[in-house]
């Protein structure tokens, strides 16, 4: 075995890995990357189809990002945002992000950005933020958060609780109290015989409302959703799903947290994924493509009305006591800022939108196709840079309730 691979087995505990299998097979050690390619230690080249973990949006070897990091390290390698300290890259990144943000309910003024280092910590911040907000405005019972089965929101204690995948709960004694899960909007698997997309979305909204009423609306603070579910299986909700969900939430004064950790920054052919899915959020979690993963950085976008509600109580309560040593790390912020400039200069969002339509057309040709080997039937749901293809391949694969006649089109506003 490669000596570096042996050292891996001796010294590393790998995240999200079958540890027993890893001991048998050893690691795949990747040495370098360029554009869409990475090379392993033996010199084999791979197409990095997943862009790392859905994050290396501009591809590998982007010199402009390397330079942005080096220049910022030379100038101010670390700076904090605690206790009113600030720095240029943190401020300029927040200013730049304004133009990327979607239309949001009740929102008029500039967003406020609260930085972190990962998608998980952004979602943990979301949980703490809605708790804090409801406490300071005098609604201490309104705390529970609704997430969805098959949703993925990360792995820290609160974020893993929001995640709706059993492996992330079992043996970790999760989820924590105050997290509820509602149905997954996957018509292909969960629609009933003869149920249209519209009827399926209506049923899911009714199920959500029943859950809220059962629990008592005064105890529910927020719902969290990825515009398209990623890690849980690339699930594109039916077209009217989010408007119906939003109407239910509005009736009970419940916030909608938009987890844009993988859908944001053009992946669905729109600046934020919610715009492609007709989803109107209250707050937004950002990470991954924010810096094309050249350095870790995340952010929670806080609407002006929520931020305003925190100001006066702060006179009495003192500090808003949340944040990380590396919140808005200046080197990560400088890289993210340069990354967004490159996105804009190269029209990456427009490119994703155009490419998505082309792929969609080509994949439509596969709709319902049959392979002689498997007698597979399936469904191609296409959303810009993602192409989930669901195939039914033999008796061991559970049959979907329904095969769509045609794939849903990405729903773009512009
Ligand atoms: C939608 C979504 N939210 C949150 C996360 C967690 O992000 P991180 O792994 O940076 O903590 C992920 C990770 O893939 C994600 O896909």
Q: Band the pLDDT of 357: cuts 50, 70, 90.
A: confident
Distance of CA 63 to the CA centre of its chain: 26
Between 30 and 405, the more confident residue is 30
The least confident of 130-139, 166-175, 349-358 is 349-358
How remote is the CA of residue 396 from the centroid of ligand 1, in Å? 31
Q: What is the sign, positive or negative, of the torsion defined by CA atoms of 205, 207, 208, 212?
A: positive
Centre a 10 Å sphere on the Cβ of residue 47 and count the other Cβ atoms it contains: 9
Q: Band the pLDDT of 223: cuts 50, 70, 90.
A: very high
> Closest Cα partner for 228 from 181, 275, 196, 194?
275
Q: Band the pLDDT of 383: cuts 50, 70, 90.
A: low
For the chain, give the mean pLDDT: 90
Chain position carrying tokens 């994703």: 352
How remote is the CA of residue 265 from the centroid of ligand 1, in Å? 14
Per-residue pLDDT of 106-140, as tens digits, reads 877 899 999 999 999 999 999 999 999 999 999 99
Question: Which atom of ligand 1 sits closest to the CA of residue 296?
Answer: 10
The least confident of 139-143, 281-285, 363-367 is 363-367
369, pLDDT greater than 80: no
Per-residue pLDDT of 59-109, as tens digits, reads 999 999 999 999 999 999 999 999 999 999 999 999 999 999 998 888 778
Question: Which atom of ligand 1 sits closest to the CA of residue 154?
Answer: 6
CA pair distance 176, 147, nearest whole angstrom: 13
pLDDT for 108 equals: 78
Strand, coil or helix: 391: strand
Give the E-state strand segments of 287-376 in sequence order: 298-302
147, pLDDT greater than 60: yes
Q: What are the chain's domains?
A: 3-48 (no CATH), 68-345 (3.40.640.10)
pLDDT for 363 equals: 82
pLDDT for 381 equals: 52
pLDDT for 362 equals: 86
Give the E-state strand segments of 127-229 in sequence order: 144-148, 179-182, 220-225
pLDDT for 63 equals: 98
Per-residue pLDDT of 178-204, as tens digits, reads 999 999 999 988 999 999 999 999 999
pLDDT for 388 equals: 61
3: phi then psi, degrees, rounded to nearest 5: -55, -35
How remote is the CA of residue 295 from the centroid of ligand 1, in Å? 15
Question: Which atom of ligand 1 sits closest to the CA of residue 226?
Answer: 1
**48, 30 contact by CB (below 8 A):** no
Nearest CA owner, ligand 1 atom 8: 119
**333, 115 contact by CB (below 8 A):** yes
H or E segment to which residue 123 belongs: helix 119-136
> Closest Cα partner for 245 from 226, 264, 231, 261?
226
* Substitution site in 118, 119, 165, 336 for ligand 1 pocket (most atoms within 8 Å of beta carbon): 119
CA pair distance 197, 33, nearest whole angstrom: 42
Cα–Cα distances in Å, from 52 out to 41, 60, 262, 319?
A: 17, 10, 12, 37
Cα–Cα distances in Å, from 146 out to 155, 184, 267, 298, 353?
A: 17, 12, 25, 22, 31
Nearest CA owner, ligand 1 atom 16: 262
How remote is the CA of residue 119 from the centroid of ligand 1, in Å? 4
Nearest CA owner, ligand 1 atom 13: 154
H or E segment to which residue 12 belongs: none
* Partners of 391 in the β-ladder: 378
pLDDT for 54 equals: 95
Average pLDDT score over residue span 290-309:
97
Average pLDDT score over residue span 327-339:
98
CA pair distance 324, 396, nearest whole angstrom: 47
- Determine the length of the chain: 414
* Substitution site in 147, 258, 262 for ligand 1 pocket (most atoms within 8 Å of beta carbon): 262
Nearest CA owner, ligand 1 atom 7: 119
Q: Band the pLDDT of 387: cuts 50, 70, 90.
A: low
Centre a 10 Å sphere on the Cβ of residue 24 and count the other Cβ atoms it contains: 7
Ligand 1 pocket by Cβ (under 6 Å): 53, 118-120, 123, 152-154, 226, 230-231, 259, 261-262, 287
Question: Which atom of ligand 1 sits closest to the CA of residue 120?
Answer: 11
Strand order in the sheet with 298-302: 112-116, 298-302, 283-286, 255-259, 220-225, 144-148, 179-182
């Amino acid at each position: 075995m490669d000596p570096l691979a042996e050292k891996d087995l001796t010294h590393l505990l790998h995240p999200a890995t079958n540890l027993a299998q890893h001991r048998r097979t050893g690691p795949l050690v990747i040495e370098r990357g360029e554009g869409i390619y990475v090379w392993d230690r033996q010199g084999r080249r791979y197409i990095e189809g997943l862009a790392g973990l859905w994050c290396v949006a501009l591809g590998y070897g982007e010199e402009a990002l390397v330079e942005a990091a080096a220049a910022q390290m030379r100038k101010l390698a670390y700076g904090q945002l605690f206790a009113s300290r600030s720095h240029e890259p943190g401020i300029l990144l927040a200013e730049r992000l304004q133009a990327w943000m979607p239309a949001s309910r009740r929102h008029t003024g500039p967003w406020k950005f609260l930085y972190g280092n990962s998608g998980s910590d952004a979602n943990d911040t979301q949980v703490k933020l809605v708790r804090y907000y409801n406490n300071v405005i005098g609604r201490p019972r309104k705390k529970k958060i609704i997430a969805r089965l098959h949703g993925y929101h990360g792995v820290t204690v609160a974020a893993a609780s929001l995640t709706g995948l059993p492996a992330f709960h079992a043996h970790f004694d999760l989820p924590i109290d105050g997290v509820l899960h509602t149905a997954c909007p996957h018509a292909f698997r969960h629609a009933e015989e003869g149920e249209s997309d519209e009827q399926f979305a209506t049923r899911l909204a009714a199920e959500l409302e029943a859950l809220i009423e059962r629990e008592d609306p005064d105890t529910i603070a927020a719902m969290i959703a990825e515009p398209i579910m990623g890690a849980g299986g690339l699930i594109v909700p039916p077209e009217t799903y989010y408007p119906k969900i939003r109407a239910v939430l509005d009736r009970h004064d419940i916030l909608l947290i938009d987890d844009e950790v993988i859908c944001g920054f053009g992946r669905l052919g729109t600046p934020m994924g919610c715009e492609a899915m007709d989803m109107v959020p209250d707050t937004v979690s950002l990470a991954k493509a924010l810096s094309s993963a050249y350095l870790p950085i995340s952010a929670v976008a806080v609407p002006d009305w929520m931020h305003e509600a925190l100001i006066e109580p702060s006179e009495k309560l003192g500090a808003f006591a949340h944040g990380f040593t590396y919140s808005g790390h200046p080197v990560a912020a400088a890289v993210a800022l340069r990354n967004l400039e490159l996105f804009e200069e190269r029209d990456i969002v427009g490119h994703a939108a155009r490419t998505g339509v082309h792929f969609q057309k080509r994949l439509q040709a596969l709709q319902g196709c049959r392979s002689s080997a498997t007698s597979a039937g399936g469904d191609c749901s296409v959303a810009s840079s993602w192409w989930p293809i669901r195939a039914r391949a033999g008796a061991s694969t559970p049959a979907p309730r329904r095969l769509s006649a045609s794939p849903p089109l990405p729903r773009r506003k512009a």
